[in-house]
Amino acid sequence: DARVTQTPRHKVTEMGQEVTMRCQPILGHNTVFWYRQTMMQGLELLAYFRNRAPLDDSGMPKDRFSAEMPDATLATLKIQPSEPRDSAVYFCASGLVGTPGEQYFGPGTRLTVT
């Protein structure tokens, strides 16, 4: 069945290292969202794309985070350099322009930065 996939599922890295997370949206979906979830802040929107074009990345720390969609089947979120405060679960979600509230979430990447 159709689902959003994310890799890796878990990542442990040292402070200062580069981290790349990947997402494959559901085939045919034309919006992609990146979220970060922590106990303290809840679910925060980092960036989103419509038809591969970035619409808003105001939720991302610009100096270290970047998000791209090189093609319709791949979205990436990169952190360079990583810091301990980046430790969180990162979710990718996809949907359709016509039903903006219906977002389908991937399983998430649990990132730990030591």
Partner 1 sequence: QKEVEQNSGPLSVPEGAIASLNCTYSDRGSQSFFWYRQYSGKSPELIMSIYSNGDKEDGRFTAQLNKASQYVSLLIRDSQPSDSATYLCAAEGGSQGNLIFGKGTKLSVKP
CB of 38 to partner 1, least distance (A): 10
- Burial class from Cβ neighbours inside 10 Å (0-12, 13-18, 19+) for residue 99 reads exposed
How many amino acids of this chain bind partner 1 (CB under 8 A)? 22
Q: Cβ closer to partner 1: 41 or 70? A: 41
Please choose, out of 15-23, 50-58, 70-78, 80-88, the segment that lies near partner 1 by the rule CB under 8 A.
Answer: 50-58
Residues contributing to the site for partner 1 (CB under 8 A): 31, 33, 41-43, 45, 48, 50, 55-56, 91, 95, 97, 100-108
